[in-house]
Amino acid sequence: MSLADAMTDLLGRVEALDAIETVATFDADRRVLAQDLVSALQVPPNDNSSMDGYAVRVADVTEPGKVLRVSQRIAAGHAGSPLEPGTCARIFTGAPMPAGADAVVMQEDTIEVGGDIHAVHIQAVPEAGQWVRRAGEDVTRGAVVLAQGERLSPASLGLAASLGLAHLPVRARPRVALFSTGDELVMPGEVPPEAMKPGAIYNSNRFFLRTLLQRMGCEVSDLGIVPDRREATLAALKSAAEHHDLILTSGGVSVGEEDHIKPSVQQLGSLDLWQIGMKPGKPFAYGTVRRESGKGAACHFIGLPGNPVSSFVTFLLLVRPFLLKLQGVSAAGLLALPPATLLPAHFTVARADKRREFLRVRRNAMGGLDLFPNQSSGVLTSAVWGDGLVDNPAGTTIAHGDPVSYISFADLLA
């Protein structure tokens, strides 16, 4: 199956979680809004100055050098009196405009008059509305300022706070059970490098997958390493399905005799996607696992390849949009690959691959892309060295200087 078809199929099988919770606005970063936020006020609440300077009546300043007496001083958070004709008001950024004033002359365009009279020379003729922020120019009363399905950002949290909202309704976090399979896996710290048995490797996938899930706002249950035995795999899947929305595994989804994930998922539920025409990441699986309790819908299952780069890339390209939709994100742009940037390849790919290929690359000082020399799916160094992927269509070679489609890791990890 092509990656595009797999993504469409995968997203068609997931619905947003029903559960809604209320969290402090301080703690809502990257959470998904469960209801439209409608403003009960206008922002700003009144006309105010966007500069330190002097509030004036435009009709009183018809030529440069006009001298106006300073009749009052208005600081932010304090209301002034109506402005007397022929006078000005000393005003500071954010302070409300006094009634009658229709412009602000910034401090740099004035000169104080010496002596006992508190007055200023207005050096520039102002225009009506100059340096004035109008009431409601940011938010109008009754407007939907943040829409249901929006993934909240630091800026949107600030906007919510400007409306007086200390708490926000958000979708519940997906509960994800994570485990790895493989008798060859060893946890760092359990065995020193010099004592590792032949064929043993440290479990790197568990570390980046757990971190990626947490960055996506998931509640993660780390179930560790499951031995390469059918009964152990079945037991892990049964237990995880009862209290989680998604089971995510790495390894064991290929076709070898020691790969028990596929038959175990088929025994406990269904396996609906199997193998994708992409490199790295061909052995990707999606299915469902029944809950023995019979409570609720079946638990989603996603099986990632065991090779670390394959696991990393398939998470970014397929699991990320799946989790966003599970959390109720409605923006179509977030549920697809981020927009690619065309950049020149400062490398060659002389041999075309029959699969759509995602090459680990890094931007260079000349504005082009360098290719990591070893594109093996087991070389995790390539994902650390690189800052993004080149999305190379199936059957396509690349010559030096060709424009290629670049997707940054920053966009995929946002």
- Could you tell me the CATH number of the domain that includes residue 217? 3.40.980.10
Range of the domain at 157: 20-43+138-171
Per-residue confidence (pLDDT) for residue 336, from 0 to 100: 81
Per-residue confidence (pLDDT) for residue 396, from 0 to 100: 97
Which residue in this structure is represented by tokens 């059957």?
395
Q: Residue 160 sits in a domain of what CATH number? A: 3.90.105.10
**What's the predicted TM-score (pTM) here?**
0.85
- Partnered with residue 133 across adjacent β-strands are 48
Q: 110, 133, 156 — which closes off a domain?
A: 133
For the ranges 20-29, 260-269, 281-290, 327-336, the one whose mean pLDDT is highest: 20-29
Please give the tally of structural domains in the chain: 4
328/216 same-domain check: yes
Spatial distance between the Cα atoms of 300 and 386, rounded to a whole number of angstroms = 31
Q: 301, 335, 369 — which closes off a domain?
A: 335
363/403 same-domain check: yes
Q: Residue 405 sits in a domain of what CATH number? A: 2.40.340.10
Task: Name the helix (H) or strand (E) containing 74.
Answer: strand 66-74
- Partnered with residue 26 across adjacent β-strands are none
Spatial distance between the Cα atoms of 67 and 148, rounded to a whole number of angstroms = 54
197/303 same-domain check: yes
Task: Render pLDDT for 23-52 as a digit per residue (tens, 0 to 9).
Answer: 999 999 999 999 999 999 999 999 999 999
Per-residue confidence (pLDDT) for residue 184, from 0 to 100: 85
27/159 same-domain check: yes
SS (H, E, C) 235-276: HHHHHHHHCCCEEEEECCCCCCCCCCHHHHHHHHEEEEEECC
- 316 — pLDDT class (breaks 50, 70, 90): very high
226/304 same-domain check: yes
Q: For the chain, how far is it from start to end, CA to CA, in angstroms?
A: 27
Which is higher by pLDDT, 202 or 346? 346
323/382 same-domain check: no
DSSP notation for 14-68: ------EEEEEGGG-TT-BBSS-EE-SS-BSSS-EESSSEEEE-GGG--STTEEE
Task: Render pLDDT for 53-95 as a digit per residue (tens, 0 to 9).
Answer: 999 999 999 999 999 999 999 999 999 999 999 999 999 999 9
163/180 same-domain check: no
Per-residue confidence (pLDDT) for residue 414, from 0 to 100: 83
Q: CB–CB of 264/237 below 8 Å? A: yes
225/327 same-domain check: yes
225/312 same-domain check: yes
Spatial distance between the Cα atoms of 166 and 37, rounded to a whole number of angstroms = 12
Average pLDDT over residues 321-325: 95
Q: Which of 201-215, 248-262, 321-335, 365-379 has the weakest average pLDDT?
A: 248-262
181/268 same-domain check: yes
Asked if pLDDT for residue 387 goes beyond 90, the answer is: yes
The Cα-based distances of 355 to 116, 255, 344, 371 in angstroms read 84, 19, 22, 18
Spatial distance between the Cα atoms of 185 and 166, rounded to a whole number of angstroms = 46
Spatial distance between the Cα atoms of 198 and 196, rounded to a whole number of angstroms = 7
Per-residue confidence (pLDDT) for residue 270, from 0 to 100: 93
Q: Report the relative pairing of strands 388-392 and 369-371 from DSSP bridges.
A: unpaired
215/309 same-domain check: yes
Spatial distance between the Cα atoms of 386 and 309, rounded to a whole number of angstroms = 12
Q: 279, 311, 335 — which closes off a domain?
A: 335
Asked if pLDDT for residue 256 goes beyond 70, the answer is: no
Spatial distance between the Cα atoms of 124 and 54, rounded to a whole number of angstroms = 12
185/273 same-domain check: yes
Which is higher by pLDDT, 201 or 211? 211
Q: Report the relative pairing of strands 299-304 and 246-250 from DSSP bridges.
A: parallel
Task: Render pLDDT for 267-286 as a digit per residue (tens, 0 to 9).
Answer: 999 998 778 999 999 889 99
